Structure formats: structure tokens, C-alpha cells
Structure 1
Amino acid sequence: MDQQVILQAEKELGEKYPNSDAARIKNQVAQVAALWRSEDGDDRAFKSFCLEYYIADAALLNATFLRLDQNLEQVFGHALEVQRFLQQPTQLEVGPVYPVDYLFAEYDPFAHIVDDMFRTKIALVVLLNFPLHSLDDCLKNGANWSREQWGETRLVQEFDSRVPAEIRQNINKAYVQADNYIAEYNIFMHHLLDRDGQRLFPDGLKLITHWGLRDELKAQYGNADGLPRQKMIQKVMESIIAQDIPKVVINNDRVDWSPFEDKVFQDGKEVDASPEPDSRYLYLLNVFHAERSSDPYYPHLPTLMKRRFERDREIPETTFREMLVRLLTDPVAKDVAKLIEKRQGRRLQPFDIWYNGFQKRADVDEAALDQIVGQKYPSVASFQSGLPDILMRLGFSAEKADFLANKIVVDPSRGTGHAMGAQRREDKAHLRTRIPEGGINYKGYNIAVHEFGHNVEQVFSLNGMDYVSLYGVPNNAFTEAFAFVFQSRDLELLGLGKPDVDDEHLDALNNYWMTCEIAAVGLVDMDVWQWMYDHPQATPAELKSAVIDISKKVWNTYYAPLLGLRDEILLGVYSHMIAFGLYLPDYSLGHIIMFQIEKYLKDKNLGAEMERMCKLGRLTPDVWMQQAVGSPISVEPLLMSVREAVAALK
């Protein structure tokens, strides 16, 4: 856009509205000019548009904001419902999956919405009338903004870029294909053979990578003879990361696999054990290239890392990284590692990054837990009908429990569990979890309770919002925090006791150790994405080598000093890295926030406080935290509690 045209538009607007703020006119016209394209019209059309749609009257401006808020709720909300429906066959256990279902799953109803909003000039009206604030401005001044100002800020951010629909569609396609790959990546554990040809796991145990494998490894801490199984799972994980896992054993219960011998058998005869052809890293590269294709349309945020941290999390990457490093390098980490070694009565192993012996459930036989939850929730319908009881046990009133339960639908998931919120108040949130024949098992129940926490947040932060533009929480870490709050109470919900003082110490230790593990994993995810940007032409094999090297580097920096072991690669096993595009850092932040929320909730009602917090909406992280718990995000409360716990339990 020619600068003279912009100046002329400003001049004519100033003449039309002599009492209007000249600085506002200048800013708003510049916002439109930055995203005006030739297809929107010529110079004359630009000036005419500005003169026709600039709103100087405060009452009309507010009414326009409310109309936009109302209408966009319907546009985005219905698009989500269409997407959810089309993805049901690939995401849910609702019958056979046909080839055409994968094509429908790749279709993105959102892809054209922003394009259409610009084409109809609705997006340009928003840009002409509401200021697009920088992250720095939000962080410096957001604490003093009104709810309406925050709503307007989130509204205009929907149109801060013009990524073509074709690129948006390709991004969605890459993620859907990666997600489908992961959803079908199951290992049949009964078909694993140790060095003596023995089967260590029960028949029918089918575990998805990485979630199922990791959770089974954790469960073995409760078994006196669990160590060989844990070593077996570690070997399987390493094979997945290194991609030397035989392709034929993936999601196949017709063959036996000896991971230590790297041999595969069918009907007692050795068969081809050719490895998977680096598919894991091909899917990750596909996601990278799809995301990178949108970089030119974000001139101020030209990489996915920039967008994830500065736009999505609203925490600069350097600040975020410093927080994780602070957590991982505190001297108390060595004290906790020594405590684990003492409790285990053996030298620590690489998989002890997932040690869960600080949890109360570690003292309960998982087979007994499987029986309890299987009897309580034998089907999807039984878990659905049990939602109000879970909520009331958590402190929600009967009325509020019924309201929430009626806003949440339980679905049988093909992959691991996940929660899908709504974007329209008339719609419902969906809770996806695996419920096999014979009833849900403890692992599935634990995941379902976690996802239920997400769903409750999703319902409150949409249905209780004054402006729908503000729906949600500041970023994914906050919804993870509420999910962790629910998940930590899973045994209480089964009537298996409430925490005492010693349990508080154990909870602090458990939270810290889990947060350290996922913080290290998050650093791997961040470094892998930086590597891909530094090597955009990399092959899957080269990316595999890089992931392994980065996993070793992060391990050697933070875990080798604790466990005395070097060059381990387990930090590279998380499936999120393949299918969720830099999501992993949210988990560590979620644990940190969860701990601060738990400290605040200690003498308060969870139900009432959670509703109040969720209704704050999508403010910036520290503004939300100040209003929710009275302090900004910090690792110090967790570190302080861990030091107290170590001193008490030495």
C-alpha cells in the first residue's frame, strides 16, 4: 500500500470525524493497510472502505463488538462441530474405518474461514476499529484493561494474519496424518519375548506409544517383580526412537518379538524383522514443512517457535526456557534422586525418570485397581452416568455437577484419551478415553479423569464467559493444570482415602519429579524444532539422528548428574513431538501452575474456585495467575515445598 494513500485516508477520516482521536485513526488505518491485498480493491477502494466502516461513536463501536462476538461464536463453533463429526470414524471406536474417512478427517472446515472473513471484509472491519496489541503491550498494560478491552484484543487477534486457505488445509492434513499414524501405533505386550523366550505380560495387553508404554512402566513400580518388565518397555521405547523396531510388530498380534535379540517369530518360525523406515520422523518432517509454509504470512512471528511462545503461550521462549532450567538444575534434584534410589533399594535406571513411588497409588496393586474401576465403569454409558458423582466428590454442588455433566459427552477413543472442547455455547465438550471390553482399566480411568479436568475447564471457560472472544484459558498449560488437579485425586474419587501431612510431602516430591521429566522432554521438543529450522532440507534419517543426539544432550546436561548414566535417549519417545507441534512444553508449565493452584486451594472449595478461575478467560498468563491465585507463575513454590519434603522424609 502506497504511503500517500494511507496518509490521504487518515486525512479524510480526520475531516469526517474531527473529534476522533487522531492517533487511533492512524493506528487503525495502518492495521488495515498492512493486510490489504490487491484482491480487496485499488487505492480508491481502500480509502472508501476506511471512510465507510470506521466507527467513531463509542456506543456503536461497543454494539459492533458484541455483534462480532456473537456471530463469530456461531461461525467457529459450527465449524468445530463439522470437524468433530467428520473425524469420528478415525478418532473413535464407532465401527470400521473406510479409506474415504481419512480424507474427510483431513478436511479442515476452519481453513477458509479467515480467507472468507477478509474476502467479505469483515476481518478488515475488525482491523479498522479495534487495536491489535503486541505481546509487549499486553504484558505491560493488560493488568489494567477492562474485560471489554480484553475481549476486543482477543477478537482482533483472530485476524492478525492472512494465511491462505490452501496452506491452512495442508497444515491440518499433516497433523491429521501424523495423529492417525500415532493412533495406530500399538504394541501387543504379550507377544514380547525376553532373552529366555518368556512372556512377561498378560495376554490381550495392547499399549499405545508412548502413553500406554510409559504408564505400564509406571505401574510396574507397584510389583515386586516389575523390574524385568520395565527394562523390556525401555528397550521397546528405544527401538521406537531409533526406528529399528520391526515394522511387522506394530499393531500386530500375530507375531512375537524379542526386542533384545531383534528377532520376530510367527507360529514359532523366525520371519522378516525389517525395521520401520523412519516413518516416525517422516511424519514429523511433514508437520514441520506444513507449518513452515505459513511462516511468510507472519512477518513478526516468522517461525512456529515464535508463534507458539509469543502468540499462543504469550511467554517469550527465553523466559520459558529459563524457568525449566531453573527447575532442573536446582540442587534439590540430587536429593530427590538419592531419595528415590534409597526407596528403590537399587541403582537408578534410565526409566526411573518416570518413578511414581511417591504417589499413594504406588502402594496399591494395579490389578486390584483394574477390578475396582472395571466394575464401577464397565462401559462408556456407565462413565457418562458417573460424571455427576465424580464432580460432587470433588466439591461441586449437585446443581453444578448436573449442569457440567450435561455439557460433556463421553466417547470411546481409538487412540489415547483426549478432551475436545466446544466453541459454541449450545454445543458440548467431548471426553475421549479407551474403554475396552470388560470395562475400563485403571490406566484408562486415570486418563479419563485427567481429560475430565480439561472438559470442566472447557465448559466453564466458554459457558461462563461474558465475551466469547475471551473463551478458554491463557494457553494450553492452564487447561493441563486443571487436568492434573483432577487426575491427582483419582484414588480419592474411588473412595481410597484422602491425603494427610505426609501425603503432602509425597505429592510435592512426585510433582517435582514428574515436572522435571516433562521439562526435559519439552526442552528436547524445543531443540528439535530449532534444529529443523536450521536444517530445513533434512531427510527423515537425518532428523532421526538429530533427535537422538538432542535427547542425549539434554539427558547428559540434566539427568546424567542425577542418575549417573550418560547418552540415554528415552526423552525422545513422546508421541506429542510427532503429532502435536511443540505442545510438550505446555505440560511442564501445567505442572508448575497446578502446584500453585493446589497450594491456593488447600483450604478452599475446588468446585467454586475452579469455576471462578475458569471464568477469567484468556488473559495473559501472569494477569490470569494474579487474579486466580494472587501471584505470578513461578517455580519457587514447588521448589520450596520439595526442599521441605526432602528434609522431612530423609
Structure 2
Amino acid sequence: MLAPVLALALSAAPAPAPSPPPSLAAGARRCASALVSRHGEPERARAERGAAQAASLWRASDGDARAFEAFCLAQFQPRGPRLDAILGRFEAALEALDGHGVEIGRELSRFAQLDVGPLEPVDALLAAYDPGAHVVDDLFDGKLAFVALLNFPLTTLDERLAQGPTWSRREWAEVRLASRFARRVPAEVNRRIAEAAADADLYVSRYDVYAHHVLGEDGARLFPKGKRLLAHWNLRDELKAQYGQEGGLARQRALAKVLERIVTQTIPAAVIDDPAVDWNPFTNEVRPAPPETIEGGARPPAKVEASREPDARYAKILANFRAARAADPWSPTAPTLVARKFDLEREIPEARVVALLEEVLGAPEIRETAARIAARLGRPLEPLDLWYSGFRPAPARPEPELDALTRARFPTPDAFARALPETLRRLGFAPDRAAWLAERIAVDPARGSGHALGAARRGDRAHLRTRVGPDGMDWKGFDIAIHELGHNVEQTFSLYGVDSTLLAGVPNTAFTEAIAFVFQARGLDVLGLPPADPGSRRLAALNDLWMTYEIAGVALVDLGMWRWLYAHPRAAPAELRDATVRLARDVWNRWYAPVLGARDVPLLAAYQHMVNRDLYLPDYPLGHLVAAQLEAHLATVAPDRLGAEIERITTFGAVTPDLWMSHATGAPVSARPLLDAARRALDGAAAR
């Protein structure tokens, strides 16, 4: 048996990737020379680059230097019809592999992700199975990946940023094909990543708090019976909904305390997803709930343990980190998950993303907006006002009436699906395009708050997962569903509408989030309810700024946590907890305490994305910036042309963010449209 310290060290350090055979570099040079002799001097640059690329990922198990040279001579093609044919075959093959892999994974995870009956122990195992885990491994083992590397260019982020604007669509397709094989991560490593992610997903999807049993500072019951709030989404949204409600501030303070307890892991384990336990989050006292207060006929326990949740939140994050870190040695051009997220996925340098976020956080418009909020509320701001929602244009009816309206219109997910053509028409799509989109979007009942799952094969449908209660879809659920519909529309256009499926998609997650925000901002239009306030555009600009302010700090905490994890790979869950809370407080003290009037607040670490979506959160503030830039452009488009313009924008494909945005709006990604819109709103309001 290994000594405990040695066992910990071995578990913390990922296994090194095997090196190519030592003689392969010379073999690659010989191969390139032979290819030039065969195909002529114009092919020298391609031959040298392709042979070097293939050699860099060739392993001894793939063959010796002689086998490598023979492979290169047989599989390299000069520019011309045969190279075109290779590109076309890869395009068709990868669409089939990706598309059917998505379909298989969707079916196996449906029991864990969809509200289709009680969960069984096997459901977590089915959800953890990744049908694509072996694909890249198999493509390398079968030499197909080496064909791509030999014939098409691997590029760095610097090359894509500098040269991408001059590339043809064909050149972009070649670049995207080769980039599929920039890393050779073994199937076993991918399987462990998928298992850790599925385990975290299940943990998050079952993290409900029964609001009726959350007590106020004085021990009074604050919420009506029947509210079951998923952390963090529903807890945050319920907090937002309490603005302007009688007794709302007391309820908001209780919800903020719940979120704080989750972050610090001082939440009693007994109150998670249990409708039979009363809890005062201020004192942390728990007790059996009176029988008449309990939902669903459950019985109160005879005794309630007050012990806290045992750092499960941070154990899940650590499991994801260690699974992701195992891929580091197999990613020579991006040897950390942080590098892979920014250089390979977002294709925006990390330093530039941080600068964009800090430009928003430090903007004078933030303090001016905070002063407006305090004036509206008639009190000094508190940390919970990070989620102030009063700038959202007021609907024509109060939320209970909106709940009744959406529940009547969408009593089931099927009803929402049947209404998709009309919904899309109200969003500015021509009737034929609305019908075409609706045919390609399925609606499913979600266990969690909802999400969008795109297709990866033409002929398949995108899936909109939405949470619908037994009495129908409430206003919050509808708001989320319209957001997810934006994702589905983008996913559909950017698959079916691109000129090559090798370019399917958008530059990164922030861009699909931006399209989703554009849809979400028009939810009232779908219901036929115009904003009540004639200054709604002004209010929307301030709301967008404040939402970006909220999530920008959350993103910096997420990034800081991953930086800390790489510096402390042997950390225990309690150490990660303390470090994350400290990071959240540090970011708060720099950017939020001067505005919201309190120090050492850990709320920026409350987002569940930190648990089940590795370093995903920076995409949200980037999405707000992209959305503001798109909205500034779409404001110049006639309402009945909105759908056509969204289609034009989203069919440009997965090029770099600045190139995509320049095509969409005429300028690269910037924080200025967001800040400029807020400035106009502030100045306009002051002038009234």
C-alpha cells in the first residue's frame, strides 16, 4: 500500500503524455523533402508544416519512423480536387460522429436531466456515459487525425487573430478541421471528465430549498407554502422578485443569507431539498416543521441534525479540477484548463477579458447607477442589491397576474412547443422561418431550471429544456424558456445555415448567451404586453449595465478560483472553501464594497456554475457586452426584419470573436456600447 503522502502526490499530479519516438523529427524532415520532390516547390510550406504537425502527436504505438514516413507519403495531397475531396469527407464524417454522439448522450442522460419520473441510482451512471469520449482517441489510433494534421494547418491564437480577417471561408474550414486534433487526450481522461461533470450536474439539480421553511431574523415565516427554490437560480430570481413587495426586504435578506450559507458551507445538510425542516439562516437553527406547514404530506422528522453540509460543494469542484487537470499533459499548446478556455474555446486572450470586465466594474456609470437605485429604494444599498431588478421595464401587470397568464397559456411543455411558431413570429421572424425553426426545436420538461441543448447534425433537432410546475409555467419559468429559445435559434441557424459544418456554431459561449439575452429582453412582446414605462429603453440600458456589474465580479472569482486550484493542486475541500470565500471577499472589497456599502461579503461565489461548469462564468459578462453591441446594431433594424437579421448574423459561423462581431455590427468586441447606452440613459433621466 502506498504511504498516504505519496498517494496524495500521485493523485494530484497528472500522468505525463508519452513522447514521439526520438527519430521522428528527422523522419518528418525527410518526409517533407520527399513530398516537395514529388509535388513541387509550391507545396514546401504545407509539406513541412503538415509533417511537423503530424510528428508532434505521433506516438511509438502508432509506428516507428519508417511507418511515419510511409504514412506521410501515402496520405499527403497537394492543393487540388483530391485535397478538396479529403476536406469534404472529413466534414461529412465529423458531422455524423458529432451529431449522433449528441443524440446518444441526450437519450442516455434524459432520465437524470428531465422530469420524467423518479430518479433511479442507475440514472447518474447513464448520464455519466460519454459516447464521444473515445472518438478523438479512435481517430488518432485509426490514423484519420494524422491525415487532417498532415494536410491542414494547426494555428495559434495569435495567428488566428492576426491573419483570420484575410482568410477565405475555405481556409477557415481547414483551420477548424485541424484544430479538432490539436490535442490527443485519451478516452479514459475524457471519460473521467464526463463522470465528474455528470456527478456535479446531479448535485446541482437536486439543490432545492423550501422557502416556506426559511424563517426571518425574528423567526417568522416569510414565504407562502409551495415555493421550492433551486440554488442559485431560483433563490436569486425570487430575491429579485421581492423588490417593491410588502415585506420584501426581510425576505430578500433571508434569501441572501441562504446564499451566503451555501457559499461558506455553513448551511445545515438537513435543509437541502427537505420540505419538513424549518430553518433560520441568521441563527442557523433547525427544527422539525409543524405538520400543517409541510408540502406533499411529508412527515416531520422526530429530530433534526444541525450539522452543516460537509464541504460537498467544494469536493465537486475539486473532482472537476482533477479530472480536467488530467488532460493538461495531452494539451501542449494549452497546458491548463484556463489556457484551453481562453485560447482554444473563447479565442480572446485572458488578459483582454479581464480588462473588459474591469472596464465595466470601474466605470463611473456604476456609481451613478447605484445612486439612482438608492434613490428609488429610499434607503442605503445593501449587498443583496447586487441583484436589483427595478430597472427592468415594468410589465403591464404584476407578477402574480403574469404567472396566471403564462400558466394558462403554457400549462405543459407540449403547450409551449405548440406555441413556438407564434412565439417566433412575435419575436420578428417571418411566418415561414418561424415554422421552419419550430420544426427543428423540441421542448422537454427539465428537472433543473432549464437549459438548451443544440443539435450537431442536420436532420436532428435542438432541445429546449424548461421547468414547468404541475400548475403550468410561471413567469420566471417563461423568462428562462425564452432565454433558452434564443440559444436554440442560434444553434439551429449556425448549424443549418453555415456554408460548411466545420464552421458550425458561434465563436464561443458568450455569443450564444448574447443571442439568448436578445430574446429574453423581448419576452413581454411574446405575451402581447408592451412595457408600461415609456422610458423602457432607458431602463433596459441601466438594467443591462447592472446585470453586467453583478456577473463580472462573479466571473473574476471563478477565474481566481481556477488560478488558485492550479497553484494548490493538492488542496482539500475545506482549503478550497476558505480560498474561494477569501477570493470572493477580495473581489467584493475592491469593486463592490465602495458601491454597496459592506465589506467581506462572499456572495460572488454563490453561482452554481462554479460547481458544474468549469470556468464557464466569464462567458456571461462577455455575453452582456456582446448583447449590448448587438442590441445597438439591432436598434437600427425594423422590427419585422429582426428575425432575418439574426439569421444573417448567426450563420457566419465559428470564426474569432472580433471577426464575427465586425461582420455582425461593423466593429470588434467592446465594452463601449454597454457603457455608452448607460451614459445616455443616465443623462436622459437627469434631463427629465
Instruction: Determine if the TM-score, normalized by the shorter chain, exceeds 0.5.
Output: yes
The reply on whether 1:369 has 2:431 as its aligned counterpart is: no
Matched position secondary structure for 1:21: helix
For 2:554 and 2:512, locate their aligned partners in 1 and report how far apart those are by CA, in whole Å: 19
For 2:139 and 2:380, locate their aligned partners in 1 and report how far apart those are by CA, in whole Å: 60
Tell me the residue number matched to 2:422: 389
For 1:50 and 1:303, locate their aligned partners in 2 and report how far apart those are by CA, in whole Å: 31
Assess if the C-alpha contact under 8 Å between 2:267 and 2:309 holds in 1: yes
Assess if the C-alpha contact under 8 Å between 2:270 and 2:304 holds in 1: no
The reply on whether 1:243 has 2:262 as its aligned counterpart is: no
Tell me the residue number matched to 1:438: 471
The partner residue of 2:195 within 173, 181, 205 is 173
Identify the range of structure 1 (251-260 vs 272-281) with the bigger mean alpha-carbon deviation: 251-260
The partner residue of 1:623 within 659, 663, 671 is 659
Deviation of 1:499 after TM superposition, in Å, equals 8.2
Question: Which AA in structure 2 matches 1:428?
Answer: R
For 1:309 and 1:282, locate their aligned partners in 2 and report how far apart those are by CA, in whole Å: 25
Question: Which AA in structure 1 matches 2:146?
Answer: L
Aligned residues: 650
The partner residue of 2:215 within 186, 193, 206 is 193
Deviation of 1:165 after TM superposition, in Å, equals 0.4
Tell me the residue number matched to 1:645: 681
Matched position secondary structure for 1:131: coil
For 2:200 and 2:276, locate their aligned partners in 1 and report how far apart those are by CA, in whole Å: 25
Matched position secondary structure for 1:271: coil
- Counterparts of 1:96-111 in structure 2, within 5 Å, are 96-111=118-133
Deviation of 1:225 after TM superposition, in Å, equals 2.3
The reply on whether 1:579 has 2:579 as its aligned counterpart is: no
Task: Structure 1 unaligned segments of length 5 or more: list them.
Answer: none
Tell me the residue number matched to 1:570: 603
Tell me the residue number matched to 1:340: 373
Matched position secondary structure for 1:583: coil
For 2:137 and 2:436, locate their aligned partners in 1 and report how far apart those are by CA, in whole Å: 36
Tell me the residue number matched to 1:218: 240
The reply on whether 1:88 has 2:121 as its aligned counterpart is: no
| TM-score for both structures, normalised by structure 1 | 0.98
For 1:641 and 1:43, locate their aligned partners in 2 and report how far apart those are by CA, in whole Å: 61
Tell me the residue number matched to 2:558: 525
Tell me the residue number matched to 2:500: 467
For 1:643 and 1:327, locate their aligned partners in 2 and report how far apart those are by CA, in whole Å: 12
Identify the range of structure 1 (82-91 vs 54-63) with the bigger mean alpha-carbon deviation: 54-63
Listed one character per residue, the Cα deviations across residues 484-504 of structure 1 (whole Å, up to 9, x for unaligned) are: 000011112111105876211
The reply on whether 1:17 has 2:36 as its aligned counterpart is: no
Assess if the C-alpha contact under 8 Å between 1:20 and 1:56 holds in 2: no
Q: What is the RMSD of the two structures over their aligned residues, measured on CA atoms?
A: 1.3
The partner residue of 1:205 within 227, 230, 251 is 227
Question: Which AA in structure 2 matches 1:574?
Answer: Y
Q: Aligned residues: percent identity? A: 47
Deviation of 1:184 after TM superposition, in Å, equals 0.3
Deviation of 1:643 after TM superposition, in Å, equals 1.4
Tell me the residue number matched to 1:428: 461
Assess if the C-alpha contact under 8 Å between 2:209 and 2:271 holds in 1: yes
For 2:522 and 2:679, locate their aligned partners in 1 and report how far apart those are by CA, in whole Å: 23
Deviation of 1:293 after TM superposition, in Å, equals 0.8
The partner residue of 1:139 within 161, 172, 188 is 161
| TM-score for both structures, normalised by structure 2 | 0.93
Question: Which AA in structure 1 matches 2:501?
Answer: V
Identify the range of structure 1 (97-106 vs 308-317) with the bigger mean alpha-carbon deviation: 97-106
Deviation of 1:362 after TM superposition, in Å, equals 6.8
- Counterparts of 1:345-364 in structure 2, within 5 Å, are 345-361=378-394, 364=397
Matched position secondary structure for 2:579: helix
Assess if the C-alpha contact under 8 Å between 1:462 and 1:471 holds in 2: yes
Question: Which AA in structure 2 matches 1:216?
Answer: E
Deviation of 1:196 after TM superposition, in Å, equals 3.5
Assess if the C-alpha contact under 8 Å between 1:451 and 1:483 holds in 2: yes
For 1:234 and 1:267, locate their aligned partners in 2 and report how far apart those are by CA, in whole Å: 22
The reply on whether 1:633 has 2:669 as its aligned counterpart is: yes
Change (3 A) 1:500 1:96: closer
Deviation of 1:555 after TM superposition, in Å, equals 0.5
The reply on whether 1:34 has 2:53 as its aligned counterpart is: no
Question: Which AA in structure 1 matches 2:682?
Answer: V
Deviation of 1:416 after TM superposition, in Å, equals 1.4
Task: Structure 2 unaligned segments of length 5 or more: list them.
Answer: 1-20, 291-301
Deviation of 1:194 after TM superposition, in Å, equals 2.0
The reply on whether 1:611 has 2:644 as its aligned counterpart is: no
Question: Which AA in structure 1 matches 2:195?
Answer: K
The reply on whether 1:148 has 2:167 as its aligned counterpart is: no
Tell me the residue number matched to 1:60: 82
For 2:396 and 2:256, locate their aligned partners in 1 and report how far apart those are by CA, in whole Å: 22
Assess if the C-alpha contact under 8 Å between 2:454 and 2:462 holds in 1: yes
- Counterparts of 1:480-559 in structure 2, within 5 Å, are 480-497=513-530, 502-559=535-592
Tell me the residue number matched to 2:11: none
Question: Which AA in structure 2 matches 1:338?
Answer: A
For 1:364 and 1:132, locate their aligned partners in 2 and report how far apart those are by CA, in whole Å: 55
Runs of 4+ aligned residues of structure 1 deviating over 4 Å after TM superposition are: 267-270, 498-501
Listed one character per residue, the Cα deviations across residues 130-151 of structure 1 (whole Å, up to 9, x for unaligned) are: 0111111110011111111111
Identify the range of structure 1 (284-293 vs 262-271) with the bigger mean alpha-carbon deviation: 262-271
Matched position secondary structure for 1:409: strand
Question: Which AA in structure 1 matches 2:337?
Answer: L
For 1:99 and 1:542, locate their aligned partners in 2 and report how far apart those are by CA, in whole Å: 30
Deviation of 1:4 after TM superposition, in Å, equals 2.0
For 2:33 and 2:93, locate their aligned partners in 1 and report how far apart those are by CA, in whole Å: 32
For 1:462 and 1:222, locate their aligned partners in 2 and report how far apart those are by CA, in whole Å: 43
Assess if the C-alpha contact under 8 Å between 1:222 and 1:363 holds in 2: no
Listed one character per residue, the Cα deviations across residues 6-44 of structure 1 (whole Å, up to 9, x for unaligned) are: 221112212222254211111010000001111111111
Change (3 A) 1:9 1:436: same
Deviation of 1:300 after TM superposition, in Å, equals 1.9
Matched position secondary structure for 1:264: strand
Deviation of 1:48 after TM superposition, in Å, equals 0.4
Assess if the C-alpha contact under 8 Å between 2:394 and 2:532 holds in 1: no
Matched position secondary structure for 1:221: coil
Assess if the C-alpha contact under 8 Å between 2:394 and 2:531 holds in 1: no
